[in-house]
Each structure stands twice: as C-alpha cells, then as structure tokens.
Structure 1
Amino acid sequence: MPALPVWFEIGTFVVLGIILLFDLLLVVKRPHEPSMKEAGLWVAFYVGLALVFAALMFVFTGPEYGGQFVAGWITEYSLSIDNLFVFIIIMARFSVPRKYQQEVLMVGIIIALILRGIFIALGAAVIENFSWIFYIFGAFLLYTAYKQATDSGEDEEHAGDNKLISKLKSVLPMSESYDGNKVRTVVDGKKVFTPMLIVFVTIGLTDLLFAVDSIPAIFGLTQSASIVFTANIFALMGLRQLYFLLGGLMTRLIYLKHALSVILAFIGVKLILHAMHVNELPFINNGEHIEWAPEIPTFVSLAVIVATIIIAVIASLIRSRVIEGNEARDGVEEESSPAVDEGLDEAADEAGTKNPRH
C-alpha cells in the first residue's frame, strides 16, 4: 500500500496544531464553565472537522486509508469517552472548582498527545522490525477486554491514591486550598505548590495508562503512524467540551464499557490473525506465513465498531429509562402508602373491623 502524500501529512498537522493552540489560548485567557449550548457547539465543530478530514482522506488517499482513519477515530473517541468517567472521579476527588476544570482537562489533553506521540513512534518502529509484536498486542487487548468487562470500577475510585502522589505530598510544600488556576502560590511569605499540581500529575498518570490501552488497539486497525496519531488528535480534540456536555449523561451509558470490551476483543482477534498471516516465528508453522488465517478488511472492522457502539448506546438509554421509571414508581408507592393505610384504618373503624395491612 503506498504511503500517504507528504504534503497531506504536513498540511494536516499544521492545521491541527493551529486549532489546538487557539483552543489552549482560549482556555487560559477566559477560564469558565461552558454552558450546555457552548459545549454542544464545540463538540459538533470537532466531530464535523473529523468527518471533513475523513472525506478528504477518501478523496486524496483512497478508501482504504479513509476507512482506516474513520475506524481508528471512532475507536479512540469511544475509548476517550470511557476515560471521561475517570476524569469526573479525579475532579470530584480533588474538589477542582468547575471554573478551572477546562484548564485541567486541556493540560491533560496536551499530556496525552505527548505521551501518545511517544508511544506511536515506538510502536511504529517496533512493528516495522518485529512482526511478532502483533501477537503480544493481540493478547494484551484480549486481556484488557476481559478486565474491561469484569472490572467493577473500584480501582478507578482510587485513581489519586498511589505512591507517587503520596510522595509528592510528603516532599513538596503544599497549600491546603486552590489559588485560582495557579500551580504555585504564596502562603505566609513562602512559595508553595497548590493542589492543582497533584491534579495535573494524576491526570498525566491516567493519560499514560490510557495510552497503553489505546495505542495497540488502533495499530490493530492501521499500521500507518500518521493515521494513528491523527486519529488520536481528533479523538482528544473536543474531549474537554464533551466532559461538560456529557457530565450528567455519563452515568446513563451503563453498557459503554461492555461495548468497549467487545471492540477491544475484536481488534485483539484481528491482530492475532494478522500476526498469523505474516508469521515469522520459527516455532509457529516452521516460521512460515499461515495463509489460511483471514485478514479482516478495514470496512468490516468499521462496521463492527460502529454497530457495537450504536447498540450499546441504545441499550444503555433504554435500560436507564426503565431503571428511572422503576425508581419513580417505587417513590410514588412509598409516598402513597401512609395515606392508603390511613384510609383503610378509617374504613375499618367505621365497619368495626381491623385493617388487613396491620
């Protein structure tokens, strides 16, 4: 498969860099909690931008690369939405003022981009020289899918409880409260760090764990480092606004983690099949390629990913509505029970009998 045109890659990264810089400056100069309308417009803008880029990919690079980008972007975007659960927990745990949560998220996104850029470069170099790495990637994703499906979420609740955070608190002079969005402040004439530093470190560590999961997943859909990095950028852009837009909806997407588990397992199987197809390990099939191992086409991967996400979202919303309906009905019954009992008591007194409920 021919490489992506150099002018297309350079142009893409220049445009995306300008947009990210503008977004960062906007957050720094005007810290605030965005309204639902503002957050919705920004999310729509970034999703629309990704779709426009996908269309350009189809036009200038062909359907194969275009399909790889769309599949990779949707996968990374889905994983990023799941990551918002952890961000919400971190913000609540450290009581970050809503006004400054945008800046925290923006710093987290920048850290994520840097870490993922490093992981992508390393991953591309390893894949180029060692095709057997696909076996490891595939096995890792299958394990991750299992953990995703069976994890109760208790580990996420303690995202800030780790030795590094405890060490920072014991070594560095730390103030008890925030001072706006500052990382350092002055207390009693001494310069100290604010809890914002701990928040940034926690977000950074979380991003590192996310990168370990997500990079092998997208390399299962495309071996183009450029597409991998571009899909990650588009997935992370707008994540800050999505945090505020979906804040109340996140708890309703109860089947999202199961959908992501299915997607990761599917990509894990796809990676192992690809590893078998290009096999060079001497102790497997005498080092020969396993020709009968099927290669799953990009558009099949895209269809599976999209269908899984759609089914999970619809099922989540239906289940959430059923749960809310049951809770509302139970609440009505509890409120009405005393009145009903009182009415039965009065009727029983008039009839000279005993209320059967007692």
Structure 2
Amino acid sequence: MTVPSLIWGITVVGILALLAFDYFFHIRKTHVPTLKEAALWSSIYVGIAVLFGILVLLFGGTDMGSEYFAGYITEKALSVDNLFVFLIIMASFRVPREDQQKVLLFGIVFSLIARTGFIFLGAALINSFAWVFYIFGLILLITAGNLLKPEPHGEKQADNFMIVLAKRIFHTTEQYDGDKLFTMHNGKKALTPMLLVMVAIGGTDILFALDSIPAIFGLTQNVYIVFTATAFSLMGLRQLYFLIDGLLDRLIYLSYGLAAILAFIGIKLVLHALHENNLPFISGGEPVPVVEISTGLSLSVIVGTLIITVVLSLLSKAGKAQTAINNARRHAVNYLDLDYTADAAERERIYGALTLEEAQILTMELKYRDKAKDVDRIREQVAEAHRKHDEYLNR
C-alpha cells in the first residue's frame, strides 16, 4: 500500500513535535525523574504507539496493522536490550543522574536519524536487488548466535573506537561542567565527558541499527511501517530507562528470547529470498518453491517468545539474586564516588537502595548468592560504603 505524501508529512511533524515536547517540558530543566513520572510518561508513549497502530489497522487494513505491531514489538524488545549498554555507558562515564535524561534524548534523536538513513538505504537495496534478503537474513542469524554467547552485560566496554579517537585527537577533561559540552581546562578549551558520552551513545546507536533494521525488514517491506514502528519504539525509551533502571539485570533470559526472535526472522528472510530468488547459482536463477511465513504467525511467535522469556526471568531465583547483587554493587560504587552527583538527596537515595538490596540478598539461598562474579570484591565495596556513610553521619 502506497502512503500519500500528506500522511508522511503529518507523521514526521508529529514525531518531531513529540521530541520537542520531551525536550522543552522535561529535559531543559535538569532533574531526576521520579518513579511515578517515569511510569506515567512511559504509559503515555506506549499508548500513543498503540493508538497509532489501531489507526493503521483501520485505514491500512489487517495486514498493514499486523506488520506495524510485529515491527513495533520487535523493535521495542531490542530497544530494552539496548538499555543494558546505555546503563553501562552511563556508569562508565559517571554521568550525574540529573543529566542522564539529556544524554538519553540525544541518543534517541541520533538513533532516529541514523536508522532513518538505514531504512531508506535498505529499501533502495531491496527494490533493486532481491538477493539483499539473503544478506539481511545472514546478519540476523549471526546476531542471534552472538546473543547466545555467555557474555554478561556488565562486561561490555563503553569506550568504542570513536571515543578512543576523540581522546587522542582532542583535549579532553575528566570533570563535568554541568551539562556543558565544552569547558576551559588548564587555560584551553576542552571536551567534557558529557560530549564524550554522547559520542559513545551515538556510535553504539549505529551498531544497534545494523541489527534492528534487517529485523524489521524481515517483517515488512513497507517503508512507512518500518519508519513508524522504529520511531515509536524509540519514543519513551528515556522514561523506560528510569522506570526499569535496576531491574534490567532481572531479565536474565532476555538475550535468549531475542536470539530466538532474530533467528526466526532471519530464517523468514532467507525463505523469502529463496521465494524471490534470481541468483543464477541457486536453482538456476529461478524462484524456489518454499513455505513463506505469514505476518500473523510472525506476530504470534514474537509475542509468545517475549512472554515466555519475561515470565521465566521473573520467576528465576538465580535472576532475583543476580539483580539484587548487581544493583548492590552499582549502588555501593556510586555511593563511594562522591563526585557522582550534585544532588545531595541522591546520595541518600543510593544508600537507601543499597541497604534494601542487602536485606534482599540475605534472604536468598547461599548457592545463588555465591554464583555472582567477584562476590568477595562486591562485599568489600558494600562494607566500604557502610563505613563512608557512618563517617558522613558522624562528621
């Protein structure tokens, strides 16, 4: 179905208006969002995305509506997984919590721009070369395999090539100057960590696009649906970060669920490529009569896999222990870092969270507690946080 230019224009203006609203009414004044605020606005953005999908169903038909929801759910799930990496980048650069919203909004805007470019490039390639479906399918199958590797999120590195290059070429400083991107350091203009963390987020977003765009093209080749499903999956990601911060580690089986989904879509793409085949060394350049997977089946597999993944993760005792221990480690480290935030109340919030997590850990079976990596080091960090807190109270 061809979407009129007027609808395209209205959609783009609407998305830009949402981003502008987010900046002027939430980001411009630095603050730490409350759980209530994050939950409210996350619900609003999900509601807007669902409402848009209903409009697509009504005016575009069942197939188009199903493709939108399949694409939106897949991209949203991949976005949640991306939050793990954002969390690590934020912690690595010690971004003050009250400034994290601005970094996240930049990441969302940059991601939207980068993915839009990839979307139109992908559409042009698909329209000209049917064999591109083979490439996209292979990318997803490789990505699915990589997700199955036993690499905890906490071990990923925040410094990518762009950061290393920036530090070598430009004068940088380790100290923040509010939310400024540049500051004066030793009499010279220097890049602040705020700019560097934005570069890290932007570079990571490009890598994410290499996985997510082939995934959604495996569900639909309608460029309008690809664009809107991708855009709405990114909307509200900032609020979702603050809503589920600290609970991300609980989803210990998320990578397996995403691997299954990406592998399924990769197989779907390869089957579609065989159905449209024109490569001379495959079946003499003739289409291969294979089963094609319907959008309805795709949507069912995606939703079902995510439900099973989330339920198993939430019921897992190992997942509960891993969540509490990782959160205790993060809050102990943050508490010991006195330059972490300019907000005095934030220090007490972190310490309060640490004590609650300690109480949770003590109620868990020893076999789950001792499975944590560097458990002795974590205990030392927690003990040091308690000592520092006592000093703070007695001074």
Distance 1:249 1:322 in 2: 10
Pick from 352, 359, 363 the counterpart of residue 328 of structure 1: 363
Which residue of structure 1 lines up, in the alignment, with residue 347 of structure 2? none
TM-score by length of 1: 0.88
TM-score by length of 2: 0.80
Distance 1:137 1:274 in 2: 11
Give the conservation status (yes or no) of the 8 Å contact 1:27–1:103. Answer: no
Distance 1:107 1:74 in 2: 22
Which residue of structure 2 lines up, in the alignment, with residue 169 of structure 1? 167
Q: For residues 142 and 273 of structure 1, do their structure 2 counterparts lie closer, same or farther at Cα, with a shift above 3 Å needed?
A: same
Matches within 5 A, 1:276-355: 276-291=274-289, 293-320=290-317, 323-324=320-321, 328-330=363-365
Give the conservation status (yes or no) of the 8 Å contact 1:94–1:199. Answer: yes
| Aligned partner letter, 2:24 | L
Distance 1:31 1:200 in 2: 16
Which residue of structure 2 lines up, in the alignment, with residue 233 of structure 1? 231
Larger RCO (CA under 8 A, 6+ residues apart) = 1
Distance 1:12 1:151 in 2: 41
- How much does 1:151 deviate? 4.4
- How much does 1:89 deviate? 0.3
Farther-moved stretch of structure 1 (173-182 vs 318-327): 318-327
Distance 1:326 1:101 in 2: 28
Matches within 5 A, 1:137-286: 137-153=136-152, 157-160=156-159, 162-286=160-284
Give the conservation status (yes or no) of the 8 Å contact 1:117–1:229. Answer: yes
Partner deviation per Cα, 1:248-292 (whole Å, 9 max, x = no partner):
21010111111000000000000000001111111111111112x
Distance 1:148 1:155 in 2: 14
Give the conservation status (yes or no) of the 8 Å contact 1:274–1:295. Answer: yes
Alignment length, in residue pairs? 330
- How much does 1:185 deviate? 1.3
| Aligned partner letter, 2:131 | W
| Aligned partner letter, 2:301 | V
Distance 2:319 2:190 in 1: 50
Distance 1:85 1:43 in 2: 18
Q: For residues 141 and 156 of structure 1, do their structure 2 counterparts lie closer, same or farther at Cα, with a shift above 3 Å needed?
A: farther
CA RMSD of aligned residues (A): 2.0
- How much does 1:112 deviate? 0.5
Runs of 4+ in 1 over 6 A off after TM superposition: none
Which residue of structure 1 lines up, in the alignment, with residue 87 of structure 2? 88
- How much does 1:326 deviate? 8.6
Q: For residues 89 and 155 of structure 1, do their structure 2 counterparts lie closer, same or farther at Cα, with a shift above 3 Å needed?
A: closer
Give the conservation status (yes or no) of the 8 Å contact 1:4–1:61. Answer: no
Farther-moved stretch of structure 1 (174-183 vs 210-219): 174-183
Give the conservation status (yes or no) of the 8 Å contact 2:277–2:286. Answer: yes
Structure 2 segments unaligned to the other structure (5+ residues): 322-359, 370-395
Which residue of structure 2 lines up, in the alignment, with residue 61 of structure 1? 60
Which residue of structure 2 lines up, in the alignment, with residue 118 of structure 1? 117
Distance 2:150 2:122 in 1: 27
Which residue of structure 1 lines up, in the alignment, with residue 334 of structure 2? none
Which residue of structure 2 lines up, in the alignment, with residue 356 of structure 1? none
| Aligned partner letter, 1:134 | F
- How much does 1:73 deviate? 0.4
Partner SS, residue 191 of structure 1: strand
Give the conservation status (yes or no) of the 8 Å contact 1:149–1:258. Answer: yes
Partner SS, residue 175 of structure 1: coil
Which residue of structure 1 lines up, in the alignment, with residue 21 of structure 2? 22
- How much does 1:323 deviate? 4.8
Give the conservation status (yes or no) of the 8 Å contact 2:88–2:154. Answer: no
| Aligned partner letter, 2:299 | L
| Aligned partner letter, 2:158 | A
Give the conservation status (yes or no) of the 8 Å contact 1:89–1:157. Answer: yes
- How much does 1:128 deviate? 0.3
Q: For residues 164 and 7 of structure 1, do their structure 2 counterparts lie closer, same or farther at Cα, with a shift above 3 Å needed?
A: closer
Give the conservation status (yes or no) of the 8 Å contact 2:313–2:319. Answer: no
Matches within 5 A, 1:65-76: 65-76=64-75
Identity among equivalent pairs (%): 50
Distance 1:151 1:205 in 2: 24
Structure 1 segments unaligned to the other structure (5+ residues): 335-358
Q: For residues 210 and 192 of structure 1, do their structure 2 counterparts lie closer, same or farther at Cα, with a shift above 3 Å needed?
A: same
Give the conservation status (yes or no) of the 8 Å contact 2:162–2:203. Answer: no
Distance 1:201 1:248 in 2: 24
- How much does 1:307 deviate? 0.4
